[in-house]
Amino acid sequence: MRVLLVSLFHPAISPGGAQQACYNLFKGLQKAKYEPILLASVERHMWPALFKSGATITEFDKHENEFLFLSQGYDHTFHRNKDPRNLDEFEDFLRVIRPNVIHFHCFVTFGLEYFATARRYLDKNGGRLIFTLHDFLAICQAEAQMVRTFDKTLCEYASSFRCHQCFPDHPPEHFSIRAMWVKHHLDYVDTFVSPSEFLRQRYIDWGISPERIVVIPNGHESPTGGTDLSTAPPRRPRNRFAFFGRLIENKGLLVLFDAIKLLRNRGLDFTVDIFGANLKHEATEQFRNAFNAFIKQEQRSTSHRTPMVRFNGAYEMVDLQRLMREIDWVVVPSTWWEIFGMVVSEAFLYGKPVICSKIGGLAERVRDNVDGLHFVVRSSRSLAEIMERAMSEDGLWEHLCCNIVPPPTAEGVARKHLEVYHGVSTLAGAGHEVHTIRALISRVNAIAIWQFR
């Protein structure tokens, strides 16, 4: 079976959770002796030299079965590609590689019409169209965050008027059209895959019928050095915390900083290590300034002794084993709805309990008082209390460590995907047959009911 995986960017070009999950699946399918083919997009501003004149799809750096889609003319308002040549090239590409399954991991940088093209191809040649949801982009225009633009509060659901409140320049009708337009194209998909039940529920609330979405968590790449931290950790206070992730506002570092200030006022002894990158390119200026100011102040006030907070820069998967050995807790203070939280997988992989905001995918994956601790989202006071408990309560750390279940591996996840690809999934829903005329008509009817409601 030949599977075409369509990915937002290549992880070697721009790292990120969604592209990493797709790439891990690609590797997992290869190990399972299937024929995956990766088509990853790249935008001109990233690496202009990759844009070969007149080309749309090219090979990538001699990686076998990995192709680049040179995305141009993308319209972010209606998520469509205004350059019809790109679509023609994609259609030719399908005809050449002849996939049995087309599995999208994004539509941004490609365009929603690519679902229609894929459907046309599959209707002629047979096969299934799968779409893995990694974000709220279909639902939310505010950078797919479901965080309200005017006061940064968390958004529970989208509606034409609520979206208009976030974007007063666009009338409510714009959002009605946007929703109809997006839903129309999502109708071409046979089965949706969601990495968490939380995200699945959001899409069900938005209008996708429950039997069309299955939950398959993102798989984790097996680390080369194994996950064993070799030496048994000595008995000592469990007061070493760490943050892993992109240095952007909604990862909640400012909440962590406030909590650190509160704890320091209580005279507690602890350390916090910060690992992450993208401060320069992705963070807002406001956040960057606040971050730099805090780190600078930290260095100044603790210059005579070991600093409590250390900023260690970016990390790679290969470093994790070394870094995890030094710490006790992984703190995930995200202030937005984390969909899956790859960092939770990273922590669990090395047996470290997680302290996280009680929100979205994090609250789902980390079980409070079982394999981690929850605190009230965006509350530095709550976080400080939990951190204090974490470092002082005797036996808590050991208790939580015992309950940690290893995160799903790439191979395991690939196997689960095969069920969806074959359309025989025992998971809820993946029951669409290969299209016959009758199936098509019943699909048309089913679609219309949710599309227009």
Partner 1 sequence: MNPPSIPTLSSVIRHGLKIARNPVALARELAVFHTFYKVMRLHEFDEEAYLDQNPDVAAAIRAGQEASARGHYIRFGCAEGRSPTRKVDPRVPYRVASRRRRRSQERSAILAEIAARAGREHLYPLLLDIAAGTGDRILKLNRRVVRTAKADPLVTRFNYDARRPEISVIICLYGHPQFLSLQLALFSTGCRLAPVEFIFLNNSAEHGEFLLRDAKQAARLYEIPVTLINVNENIGLAAGNNLAARHATSSRLVFMHPDVFPRDHNWLAKHNEFSATADGRIFGACLYYDDGSVMHAGMYLERETIRYETSKCMDLLRIRHYAKGVPDCVPDAAKTRVVPAITGAFISIEREHFESLKGFDENFVLAGYEDFDLCLRSAAAGQRVWYCANVRLMHLEAQGGARGPDARGASYVNQWLFSRKWLPSLANKCGPLWSRVEQTR
**Among the candidate windows 168-176, 288-296, 303-311, 359-367, which touches partner 1 by CB under 8 A?**
168-176
Q: In the set 27, 30, 172, 201, which binds partner 1 (CB under 8 A)?
A: 172
**Among the candidate windows 29-37, 80-88, 300-308, 331-339, which touches partner 1 by CB under 8 A?**
80-88
* Residues ≥6 apart with Cβ < 8 Å to 18: 7, 8, 105, 106, 134, 135
Closest CA to 19 of 31, 11, 27, 30: 11
82 vs 422, beta carbon nearer partner 1: 82
Length of the chain: 453
Q: Is 103 in the site for partner 1 (CB under 8 A)?
A: no
Q: Is 233 in the site for partner 1 (CB under 8 A)?
A: no
Q: In the set 103, 134, 185, 352, which binds partner 1 (CB under 8 A)?
A: 185
Q: Is 181 in the site for partner 1 (CB under 8 A)?
A: yes
For residues 21 and 195, give the distance between their C-alpha atoms in angstroms, rounded to a whole number: 10
For residues 224 and 316, give the distance between their C-alpha atoms in angstroms, rounded to a whole number: 12
Q: Is 116 in the site for partner 1 (CB under 8 A)?
A: yes
Least separation in angstroms between residue 181's CB and partner 1 is: 6
Q: Going residue by residue from 120 to 159, which x/- string records binding to partner 1, judged by CB under 8 A?
A: x---------------------------------------
Q: Is 444 in the site for partner 1 (CB under 8 A)?
A: yes
Q: Is 235 in the site for partner 1 (CB under 8 A)?
A: no
Q: Is 66 in the site for partner 1 (CB under 8 A)?
A: no
Q: In the set 30, 149, 160, 250, which binds partner 1 (CB under 8 A)?
A: 160
Q: Is 87 in the site for partner 1 (CB under 8 A)?
A: yes
58 vs 451, beta carbon nearer partner 1: 451
292 vs 442, beta carbon nearer partner 1: 442
Q: Is 445 in the site for partner 1 (CB under 8 A)?
A: yes
Q: In the set 66, 135, 187, 364, which binds partner 1 (CB under 8 A)?
A: 187
Helical (H) or strand (E) element with 101: strand 101-104
Least separation in angstroms between residue 133's CB and partner 1 is: 21
Least separation in angstroms between residue 73's CB and partner 1 is: 10
**Among the candidate windows 82-90, 98-106, 301-309, 314-322, which touches partner 1 by CB under 8 A?**
82-90
Least separation in angstroms between residue 72's CB and partner 1 is: 14
Least separation in angstroms between residue 84's CB and partner 1 is: 4
For residues 348 and 332, the answer to whether their CB atoms sit within 8 Å is no
Closest CA to 327 of 296, 351, 358, 301: 351
| Helix 17-31 with 410-422: angle, nearest 10 deg | 80
Helical (H) or strand (E) element with 411: helix 410-422
Burial, 207: exposed, middle or buried (Cβ in 10 Å; 0-12, 13-18, 19+)?
A: middle
Residue 395: both structure tokens together: 């036996």
For residues 173 and 161, the answer to whether their CB atoms sit within 8 Å is no
For residues 274 and 9, give the distance between their C-alpha atoms in angstroms, rounded to a whole number: 26
Q: Is 72 in the site for partner 1 (CB under 8 A)?
A: no
Give the residue ranges of DSSP H helices in 146-244: 160-166, 172-186, 197-206
212 vs 417, beta carbon nearer partner 1: 212
Q: In the set 30, 100, 176, 302, which binds partner 1 (CB under 8 A)?
A: 176
Residue 35: both structure tokens together: 């024929």
For residues 249 and 290, give the distance between their C-alpha atoms in angstroms, rounded to a whole number: 10
Closest CA to 189 of 72, 260, 255, 102: 102
For residues 344 and 348, give the distance between their C-alpha atoms in angstroms, rounded to a whole number: 6
Q: In the set 47, 61, 126, 180, which binds partner 1 (CB under 8 A)?
A: 180
Pairing outcome for strands 271-275 and 309-311: parallel
For residues 45 and 55, the answer to whether their CB atoms sit within 8 Å is no
Q: In the set 14, 50, 74, 78, which binds partner 1 (CB under 8 A)?
A: 78
R_g of the chain, CA atoms, integer Å: 23
Q: Is 82 in the site for partner 1 (CB under 8 A)?
A: yes
Q: In the set 177, 204, 376, 418, which binds partner 1 (CB under 8 A)?
A: 177
Q: Is 439 in the site for partner 1 (CB under 8 A)?
A: no
Q: Is 447 in the site for partner 1 (CB under 8 A)?
A: yes
405 vs 437, beta carbon nearer partner 1: 437
For residues 243 and 229, give the distance between their C-alpha atoms in angstroms, rounded to a whole number: 19
119 vs 200, beta carbon nearer partner 1: 119
For residues 330 and 372, give the distance between their C-alpha atoms in angstroms, rounded to a whole number: 9
Question: Residue numbers of the site for partner 1 (CB under 8 A)?
Answer: 77-78, 80, 82, 84, 87, 113, 116-117, 120, 160, 171-174, 176-177, 180-181, 184-185, 187, 444-445, 447-449, 451-452
